[in-house]
Chains A and B, each alone.
Chain A
Amino acid sequence: MLLLTGKGGVGKTSMALATALGAARHGHRTLVLSTDAAHSLGDALGRPVGAAPVAVAPGLVAQEVGVLAELDRAWSEIQEWLRALLREETDELVAEELLVFPGMEELVSLRAVREVEATGAYDVCVVDCAPTGATLRMLRFPDALRVFMENFFDLERRGARLLRPLVDRLSAGRLIPREEFFEAFERLYREVEDVRQILMDGERTSARLVVNPARVVVEEARRSFAYLSLYGVATDAVVVNRELPDGARGGWFGRWAERERREQAEIAASFPIPILHAPLHPREVRGVEALDTLSRQVYGETDPARIFTRQRPVRLRKHAGATVLEVDLPGASKEEIELRVVGGELAIRVRDAERLVALPATLAGRQLAGSRFEDGVLRIRFRP
Chain B
Amino acid sequence: MRLVLYTGKGGVGKTTTAAATAVCAAARGVPTLVVSADAAHSLGDVLAHPLAGEAERREPQPVADRLHALEVDARRAMERHWGRVRDYLISLFRYQGIEAVVAEELALLPGAEELATLLAVQELAESGRYELVVVDCAPTDSTLRLVTLPDVADGALRWLLRLQQALSAVVTPLARSLVPVPLPGPEVFRDADRLLYRRLRGLRALLSARETSVRLVVTPERMVIDEARRAHTDLSLFGVACDAVVMNRLLPEAACAEPFFRDWGVLQEERLREVEEAFAPLPVLRAPLQEDEVVGTERLARHGHELFGRREPGAVLGRAPRLRFTRAGTGYQLTLSLPGASAAELDVTKVEGELLLSTGRTRRAIVLPRRVAALDLAGAKLERGRLLVRFAGGAP
Contact = CB atoms under 8 A, between A and B. Distances in A.
Nearest to A256: B291
B40 A342 contact: no
Given A91-B327, A92-B325, A94-B151, A335 B53 contact: yes
Q: Which of B11, B104, B163, B171 has the most CB of A within 10 A?
A: B11
A134 B53 CA distance: 22
Q: Which of A92, A95, A147, A245 has the most CB of B within 10 A?
A: A95
A43 B222 contact: yes
A215 B324 contact: no
A242 to B, nearest CB: 11
Interface in B1-20: 9-12, 15
Given A10-B11, A141-B110, A170 B166 contact: yes
B292 interface: yes
B108 A7 contact: no
A237 to B, nearest CB: 20
Nearest to B234: A95
Given A99-B152, A103-B111, A283 B11 contact: no
A49 B142 CA distance: 23
A127 B111 CA distance: 24
B394 to A, nearest CB: 11
Q: Which of A9, A10, A89, A131 has the most CB of B within 10 A?
A: A9
A175 B254 contact: no
A94 B261 CA distance: 43
A215 B45 contact: yes
B186 interface: no
Contacts of B162: 172, 175
A102 B114 contact: yes
B355 to A, nearest CB: 14
B112 interface: yes
Interface string B188-218: 0000000000000000000000000000000
Interface string B251-279: 01011011111111001000000000000
Given A86-B151, A343-B101, A220 B40 contact: yes
A92 B326 contact: yes
Contacts of B10: 7-9, 131
B102 A93 contact: no
A248 B261 contact: yes
Contact of B98 (A94, A97, A151, A167): A151
B146 to A, nearest CB: 10
A352 interface: yes
B238 interface: yes
Given A144-B109, A335-B54, A356-B105, A43 B291 contact: no
Given A8-B139, A342-B101, A131 B40 contact: yes
Contact of A95 (B46, B73, B179, B369): B369
A100 to B, nearest CB: 6
B170 interface: yes
Q: Which of B15, B42, B252 has the most CB of A within 10 A?
A: B42
B129 interface: no
Contacts of A143: 108
B298 interface: no
B155 interface: yes
A251 B258 contact: yes
A318 interface: no
Contacts, number: 221
Interface in B314-347: 324-327, 332
B112 A102 contact: yes
Contacts of B12: 8-9
A40 B221 CA distance: 12
A133 B149 contact: no
B293 interface: yes
B141 A37 contact: yes
A282 B372 CA distance: 38
Interface residues of B, number: 92
B105 A102 contact: no
A40 B159 contact: no
Nearest to A132: B40
B174 interface: no
Contacts of B258: 248, 250-253
B324 A92 contact: yes
A86 to B, nearest CB: 4
B40 A101 contact: no
Given A252-B291, A283-B264, A216 B139 contact: no
B148 interface: yes
A74 interface: no
Given A93-B372, A220-B40, A248-B260, A167 B15 contact: no
A40 B227 CA distance: 10
B324 A253 contact: no
A37 B11 CA distance: 16
Contact of A252 (B221, B234, B254): B254
Contacts of A134: 142
B180 interface: yes
A38 interface: yes
B223 A38 contact: yes
A98 B110 contact: no
A132 B326 CA distance: 37
B47 to A, nearest CB: 11
A102 B145 contact: yes
A326 B42 CA distance: 29
Contacts of B293: 214-216, 259
A91 B139 CA distance: 29
Nearest to A93: B325
A102 B227 contact: no
Nearest to A341: B101
Given A38-B226, A223-B40, 12 more contacts: A43-B223, A93-B372, A97-B369, A101-B152, A102-B110, A103-B110, A105-B145, A144-B110, A155-B181, A159-B179, A216-B45, A283-B263
15 contacts: A8-B9, A8-B11, A43-B226, A93-B326, A93-B371, A103-B110, A148-B109, A155-B182, A215-B45, A215-B295, A220-B40, A247-B260, A252-B258, A255-B291, A256-B291
Counting from the closest, the 8 A-B pairs by CB-CB distance are A9-B11, A8-B10, A102-B111, A103-B110, A159-B181, A144-B108, A93-B325, A8-B11
